Amino acid sequence: MNKEIYRRVKEFKRKYPMTIAFRLRAHAKVASKFIGSDEEIKYVFVAQKNYQSYEIINTNIIVLTDKRLVVATKRLVFGYFLKVITPDMFNDLTIKQGPIWGKVIIDTVKEEVILSNIDRNALAEIDDNITMTMIEEKKEYGRDLETKKKDK
């Protein structure tokens, strides 16, 4: 799984070279720990998780699976940070484009996740992948809830 995530993130960086990202192999290793064998990886990209575009030391790998969105980063010395966004927690996605980079703001029930320093040409692709997958999964989640209510 680690090699698959790393391969896809390198592919993303080759396709969108203006995206700022460091230590991709270490971050991919953390993300792969939390992707289940029953999950299908649909899309992988890299960004800085921060509020200001001049903060460039917070690289995160974002893995979109058929069940959830995983945002992972390896800390510099030891440990890691992980954020998981499930379809039921997902509210909205906002794209902001600047002259060089863009931002993706994922609004969840609890907070906003701000991903920045992304090549502006990648924004449409990221929007399409996240939005379509989350809509599909929310519909499926809603159907599952209806089925459970009917069974009671």
- The number of domains in the chain is 1
Query: Looking at residue 52, what is its pLDDT?
Result: 64
CATH classification at residue 77: 2.30.29.30
Residue at token pair 């790393």: 6
The pair of three-digit structure tokens given for residue 57, joined into one six-digit string: 């030391």
Q: Which of 103, 60, 105 lies closest to 83, judged by CA? A: 60
Query: Looking at residue 148, what is its pLDDT?
Result: 66
Query: Looking at residue 58, what is its pLDDT?
Result: 85
Angle at 60 between CA 58 and CA 65, to 5 degrees: 165
Distance, CA of 72 to CA of 19 (rounded, Å): 17
Distance, CA of 66 to CA of 76 (rounded, Å): 30
pTM of the model: 0.86
3-state secondary structure of 73: strand
pLDDT along the chain (152 residues), means of 10: 88 94 92 91 93 72 94 88 92 93 93 93 96 88 69 66
Query: Which structural domain range is residue 131 located in?
Result: 2-151
